[in-house]
Structures are given as C-alpha cells and as structure tokens.
C-alpha cells in the first residue's frame, strides 16, 4: 500500500500535503488520517535534512549487550540502517536466501510508505527496545519516534526484524516466515493459501480464486506465477506479520480489506475468505501499467473484484443515491471528491465506471489506452478528454449520467 510519493522539493512536507495517496483496497478511515498526520507532523517539525550520514541507535540499557550474539545483532541492524536500505542492491547485511526469493526482500520496505519506510529515518530517533529469541533466531524490536516541543515522545512505529545465522554470520531476515511458521498451507494452482490453524480452509472458494487468476491472465496474455495469499483477521495482524508491531493509528481498522505486495507477489487479506479477487487484479495488471493513474488501477480492480466484500454495483448504487440527494455537489473536480464513508471509496466507483466505459467503447485495447496517459492529475483529465471527448468542466454531467446508466443496465 502506498501513501507517500518521493518528492524533490526543498521542504518535503509541503509537497506531501499535495500528494497524499492511499493504495490498494485498505479503507482505514480515521486510522489513515492519524497515520498521515503523524508523518506530516514529524516532517514539518523536523529540520530540513538531506540524507543523514549516520543513523545512531539508542539501545535499551536492560538489553544484555555483553552477550556476544546480541552485540553482533545490534551492530548488524545499525550497519543495515546506515547502508541505504531503501536502495535496490545486493545488501550484504540481509539473508541471501531471502534476496534470492524476493524482488524487494525487506518487507518493511514494501509496506505502506512510498518511496520507502526508510525515507523517514532522518525525522525520527531510533531505539532498540528489546531483543528476544525464537528458537535460533533473534528478533529485534525497534521504536522510531520523534520528540514533541513539550518533551513527550511521538511514536511513529515499532518494527520487528529478525536475525539468523547464515554461513556462520548473522544476517537480517523478515519476521513474516517466522511468525507464520505454525500456520497451515494449501496449494491450489498458482496460489499458496497460508492461514492460521483456527481458519477452516474452503477448497471450493480457493479453486474459484485460482480459476479467476487463470481467466485474468488469459485475458491479459500473461502467465500465472506463484503467489502467496495470507489470510488474517484484521489489518493490525497483517501489519504485524509484515514487521510493524505498532504503527500510528493502529486499531482503527475493522472489517474486510487487504493489500498486495505486488513486487513480491504476495496478497494479504484482512477478514477475508479464500475468494479475494481485487488484490489479485493488482498483482497481475499493475505491473503492465507502471505509470497508470491510480483511479484507473483501483477502479479496474474494483470492477472485476469488488471492494470491502461487495461487488462494484453495490458501491455504485450508494454513490448514485448520495449524488441524487446532493445535486449541489460538483464532480468536475472528480479527483477532489474526497472521503465518502470509509466503506465505499469514490475512487473505486468513478475509476471503475470509467474503465467499464472504455471497455464498452473499445474493449481491452481501449482500456489499455486509458491506462497509458500517466499518473498525474493532468494525465487523468487528459485521458478522459482524449478517450471520451469530455472536458473537465463537463464531468459532473458525464459521470452522473454514466452512473445512472450503469446501475440501470446492471441492476438486479
């Protein structure tokens, strides 16, 4: 899931205010606002820094640093944080087995933040809170926080990263394989379903999910590839599995949702069963259009795979009714429509409607063209004007009419 985009201005906080983005399929309402606010406050209150030359670690005095293994692991973590961990290269401090298995091997680097979780290191103090042992693996719990003007601590997150011996030396590794080691696994086609022992595996839904992937990949002329699908109870469980023991705003999200780690072909479902096509659309379609506008990518995933446990028609009817009750709302600024209610995301509805219109007009070639204009605001409106002949000042009428037509044609 991506929230922040890499910026190049002198003050990163100013541009972040203009370009906060929520990524695939997690609708987290108040939690998202808290998370965004926490990050922005940290950025706004921090000195305007470049890449800091050295990241120091404060180590909890209760940790036994006289222990040789613990001392080695602390040094390893410190060295890694100072090795540009947000860069893509053969980092010597990470386990070779995971570097071979994953395109982006550090899962802290693929969760939530764009360009990287590590982008925010200069704006926080780093404290190793504890080091615990699970079998032969050491687990490092680290607090990233800033200090308020009043002297209190403002926690940003608490991370979990493991260290295991490889070729006689400690190397860092993800907590995910360790925390889910007791979980069960079932392979159906190209998908490996991974779930806690308490979950009752539904093979019929799993087969349906795999059939969907086969149909999707045939449509786009790509080959299915191995994908791990983790089933958890809620977003907090997913974040903990990925290495965030705490994050700003934790606890606000309930209900169904999820996220895809597209680079590593991993799907995480929160409160989901084995049927969760939305994120699988992202896994296969997003890489084909790396510069597509997020409205189209999210809209297409919702068009095929629904959202929040409901088909897109359900969401379209809700938005249509809301717009009928509020004729004063102007959709000419479609990207500025804003938050609806935490269940139905207008981005999914409007993006899905435009994708469906493109498909009805010219099939898959037309949709591909819609995806090809670029990811910026001007590209979004240019795509609509070029493809449908509708200028921005006419979008209010166009979108309202399109919603009525879609719900009328698909209503049941």
Domains in the chain: boundaries: 52-176, 289-412
pLDDT reading at 167 higher than 50: yes
Residue pair 355/370 in contact by the 8 Å Cβ criterion: yes
How wide is the angle at C-alpha 374 spanned by C-alphas 345 and 365, nearest 5°? 90
pLDDT reading at 115 higher than 90: no
List Cβ neighbours of 192 (8 Å cut-off, separation of 6 or more): 185, 186, 226, 227, 228, 229
Q: Is 5 helix (H, G, I), strand (E, B) or coil?
A: coil
Please name the helix (run of DSSP H) or strand (run of DSSP E) that holds residue 163, with its range, or none: strand 153-166
- What Å distances lie between residue 260 and 2, 90, 264, CA to CA? 10, 24, 9
pLDDT reading at 139 higher than 50: yes
User: How much is the average pLDDT of 26-42?
Assistant: 40
List Cβ neighbours of 186 (8 Å cut-off, separation of 6 or more): 192, 193, 195, 201, 203, 206
User: How much is the average pLDDT of 286-308?
Assistant: 96
Q: Is 332 helix (H, G, I), strand (E, B) or coil?
A: coil
Residue pair 299/347 in contact by the 8 Å Cβ criterion: yes
Q: Which of 13-17, 85-89, 199-203 has the highest mean pLDDT?
A: 199-203
At the topology level, CATH places domain 52-176 in Nuclear Transport Factor 2; Chain: A, (3.10.450)
Residue pair 160/237 in contact by the 8 Å Cβ criterion: no
Q: State the Cα–Cα distance between residues 337 and 350, nearest whole angstrom.
A: 10
Positive or negative: CA dihedral 326, 328, 331, 333: negative
User: How much is the average pLDDT of 320-335?
Assistant: 94
Q: pLDDT tier at 253 (50, 70, 90 boundaries)?
A: low
Q: State the Cα–Cα distance between residues 292 and 362, nearest whole angstrom.
A: 18
The whole model's pTM is what?
0.85
Residue 322 neighbours by CB distance under 10 Å: 14
pLDDT in tens, 227-246: 999 999 988 889 999 999 99
Residue pair 35/249 in contact by the 8 Å Cβ criterion: yes
What are the tokens at 195? Answer: 């779930």
The pLDDT value given to residue 40: 44
pLDDT in tens, 57-85: 999 999 999 999 999 999 999 999 999 99
The pLDDT value given to residue 64: 95
Question: Which residues on neighbouring strands pair with residue 154, listed in sequence order?
Answer: 146
What are the tokens at 361? Answer: 């007009």
DSSP string of 35-71?
Answer: HHHHHHHHHHHS----S-S----EE-TTS-TTSHHHH
Q: pLDDT tier at 339 (50, 70, 90 boundaries)?
A: low
Q: State the Cα–Cα distance between residues 177 and 74, nearest whole angstrom.
A: 21
Q: State the Cα–Cα distance between residues 83 and 105, nearest whole angstrom.
A: 15
């Amino acid at each position: 899931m991506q929230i922040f985009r890499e910026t190049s201005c002198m003050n990163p906080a100013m541009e972040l205010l203009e370009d906060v983005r929520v990524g695939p399929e997690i609708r987290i309402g108040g939690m998202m606002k808290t998370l965004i606010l926490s990050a922005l406050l940290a950025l706004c209150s921090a000195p305007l820094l470049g890449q800091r030359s050295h990241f120091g670690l404060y180590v909890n005095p209760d940790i036994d640093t006289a222990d040789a293994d613990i001392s080695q692991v602390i040094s390893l973590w410190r060295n890694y944080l100072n090795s540009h961990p947000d860069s893509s290269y053969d980092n010597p401090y990470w386990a070779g087995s995971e570097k071979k298995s994953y395109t982006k091997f550090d899962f802290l680097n693929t969760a939530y933040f764009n360009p990287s979780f590590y982008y925010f290191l200069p704006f926080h103090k780093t404290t190793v809170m504890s080091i615990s042992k699970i079998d032969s693996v050491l687990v490092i719990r680290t607090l990233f926080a800033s200090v308020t003007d009043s002297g209190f601590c403002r926690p940003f997150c608490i991370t979990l990263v493991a260290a295991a011996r490889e070729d006689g030396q400690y190397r860092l590794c993800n907590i995910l394989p360790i925390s889910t080691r007791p979980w069960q696994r079932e392979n159906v086609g190209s998908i490996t379903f991974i779930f806690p022992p308490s979950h009752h595996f539904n093979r019929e839904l799993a087969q349906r999910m795999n059939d969907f992937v086969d149909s999707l990949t045939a449509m786009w002329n790509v080959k299915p590839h191995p994908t791990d699908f983790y089933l958890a109870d809620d977003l907090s469980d997913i974040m903990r599995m990925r290495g965030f023991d705490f994050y700003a705003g934790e606890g606000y999200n309930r209900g169904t949702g999820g996220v895809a780690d597209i680079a590593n072909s991993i799907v995480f479902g929160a409160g989901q069963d084995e049927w969760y096509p939305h994120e699988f659309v992202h896994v296969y379609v997003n890489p084909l259009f790396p510069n597509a506008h997020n409205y189209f990518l999210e809209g297409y995933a919702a068009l095929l795979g629904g959202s929040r446990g409901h088909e897109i028609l359900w969401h379209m009817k809700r938005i249509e009714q809301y717009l009928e009750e509020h004729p004063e709302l102007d959709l000419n600024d479609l990207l500025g429509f804003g938050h609806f209610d935490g269940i139905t995301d207008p981005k999914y509805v409007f993006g899905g409607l435009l994708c469906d219109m493109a498909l009805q007009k010219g099939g898959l070639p037309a949709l591909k063209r819609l995806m090809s204009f670029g990811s910026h605001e001007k590209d979004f409106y240019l795509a609509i004007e070029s493809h449908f002949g509708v200028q921005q000042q006419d979008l209010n009428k166009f979108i309202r009419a399109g919603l009525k037509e879609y719900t009328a044609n698909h209503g049941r």
